[in-house]
Amino acid sequence: MALRLFDSLSRELRELKPAHADGVFRFYNCGPTVYAPSHIGNFRTFVINDVLRRLLELQFGASKVKHVRNLTDVDDKTIRRAREEQRRLADVTQQWTAKFHADCDALNCLRPHVEPTATGHIREQVDMIAVLMQKGNAYRAADGSVYFKVGSFDGYGRLSRVKERELQLGSALAGKVHAADADEKEDVSDFALWKAWKAEDGDVKWPGPDDAAAGRPGWHIECSAMSKKHLGDTIDLHTGGVDLLFPHHENEIAQSECCNGVTFSRHWYHSEHLLVDGKKMSKSLGNLYTLDELRGKHFDPLVVRLALLQAHPRKQLNFTLDTLHAADRALTTIHAFWQSIPDGKGSERDFDSVLDALRDDLNFPAALGALFTIIARGPQHVSRAACTAALFALGLDRAPIERAKADVPAKIKSIAEKRWAAKQVKDFAAADALRKELSAAGWSMLDRKDGYSLEPVKK
């Protein structure tokens, strides 16, 4: 079955396929700004992209997929954090980059093939801005900053369907300062490609393009420059959260296509927001969870991953602690089934329904429904290899981390051994009584064909 994905630009389902002669599928997704720990809303997007990456590898072969995800390591937020902590910018961003990598690994996300940084690609950004200035698509402001002239690109707004009145095209500022950038611009809709150095930037600055002032790149230009550097002028797919659709991705299209003269991305995909307890995440509401906070509540990162797969990516997901408890039980069932599949070759088509649902616009609910339908039929005559492929696609092909670390008291182990022995001799009444005893003590026992495992009951 073809891998089809909704295209945010054409507003229709389209097949994903590589367009270049080498057959390599070129895939770019926007990464984090590394100034603080990423929260579960961020990770919903990264987990969705990870499933997509896995499907692409199953579809075209691992060697025929090139995945690039950037790291924003210079912007207002990173500079502010460095200034507040009186540390070097690089020290701050390296700390949070390492944390991001650790969290992604815990969530079983594949590392991108290339992970470029904004500070590592200043030259590429400066060169791109210089071309845009030479072509008349960008101009130097009075303070030495450089802005993209939105009115010079006829296609502006076609991704987001933003209305002209919202852009306020033609509304020259007549020397007034626009609050969004606090800099002089010819038009309120224009956006910064290069920001002239200010005292609050400290020692963060580089030589600017042409006659522009020393300073730093704007946020939008980094993705265009890094995508061009590592994937070429035209890519097969660009993804990100719906919050990036406008203005970030709209601006990427404008600056890339004006600079390169060709289509920037053949396909665009955006995932929806994550809500927590039905509300938008915010620090003031106390519902902005990080992975560490959920681990502190004794939830394994793989459980968090499964919870983030509970809704269609193009629909909002309401994340609750009840969702996590349900995901924990579901993951236990999935892995018990996986481990109980007998050796030998079963039908290779058993799990086609799971993969086909994923290939149909990443339909996670349908895929998980198909998986549990198979589980309900039992493990007999099921292909272990096919099950592993389906779990690989979902990123659930790994034993939970936290469960393996549980320190089981000797008394609990003794009760479990008695229950296992009772079950072997088919004394089910005694086995049930011992299970209740375990439960009262705060432990659950998962039976497998070759033994059992114990884990604390989460509260």
Interacting residues of 77 by C-beta distance below 8 A, sequence separation 6+: 33, 35, 36
pLDDT of 403 reads 54
Alpha-carbon distance of 150 to 144, in angstroms, equals 18
Nearest Cα residue to 3 out of 237, 230, 242? 237
What would the two tokens of residue 156 be?
């502006």
Q: Where in the chain is the domain with CATH 3.40.50.620?
A: 4-271
Given CATH 3.40.50.620, say whether it is the number of domain 4-271: yes
**What is the distance of C-alpha 403 from the center of its chain?**
24
Nearest Cα residue to 167 out of 182, 153, 177, 184? 153
- The count of C-alpha atoms lying within 13 angstroms of the C-alpha of 260, restricted to the half-sphere facing its C-beta, is 19
Nearest Cα residue to 267 out of 49, 48, 27? 27
- Residue-wise pLDDT for 271-292, tens only, equals 999 999 898 887 777 778 999 9
Mean pLDDT of the chain: 90
- Residue-wise pLDDT for 290-314, tens only, equals 999 999 888 999 999 999 999 999 9
Write down the pTM of the prediction.
0.85
Torsion of the alpha carbons at 378, 382, 383 and 384, rounded to the nearest 10: 20
Counting as low any pLDDT under 50, the low residues of the chain are 165, 169-183, 404-405
